[in-house]
Amino acid sequence: MAAAPRAAVGAGRRPAPAADPDAVAFNALPRVDQKVLRRTVRMGRPLATPAEARMAVAFARYQRSQPWYKLFWVLFVPGVVISMAVASTLHLVVMGVVLAAAAQGAWGWRSLRRVERINRHLLTGPA
């Protein structure tokens, strides 16, 4: 008796291959190119080609489906408050470092939400 086909599950932080052909293309990239694409998405910058834009959208869609993303503000605000309380007892520079790290986290969260809008001109094709 043949086993029923299982839905493909992504390995680690990678999007599930069967879910999206762009996720398959993302997983086929060399690790260095994956990192560049992830960083570009987190910085909120537009991509250069339509293929990269589609892979970026697949990456962002996968990240937005993760529990950490859905609970970001629930975990983020208490973490920043506690970190600032601890940093205030240490040094003013440490408080600045905590604020900078918090700003980067919030910027990355915002950029994952905006990836489709930023790359709309590449995703829709020539007008």
Cα–Cα distance list, 70 to 30, 46, 64, 75, 113 (Å):
28, 24, 7, 10, 12
Q: State the amino acid at position 101 in one-letter form.
A: A
pLDDT over threshold 90, residue 120: no
With H, G, I as helix, E, B as strand and everything else as coil, classify residue 13: coil
Instruction: Return the axis-axis angle of helices 92-118 and 72-90, rounded to nearest 10°.
Output: 160
pLDDT over threshold 50, residue 94: yes
pLDDT tens profile 37-87 = 999 998 889 888 888 888 898 889 888 888 888 899 999 999 999 999 999
pLDDT tens profile 18-49 = 667 888 888 888 999 999 999 999 888 988 88
pTM over 0.75: no
**What's the pLDDT at 4?**
47
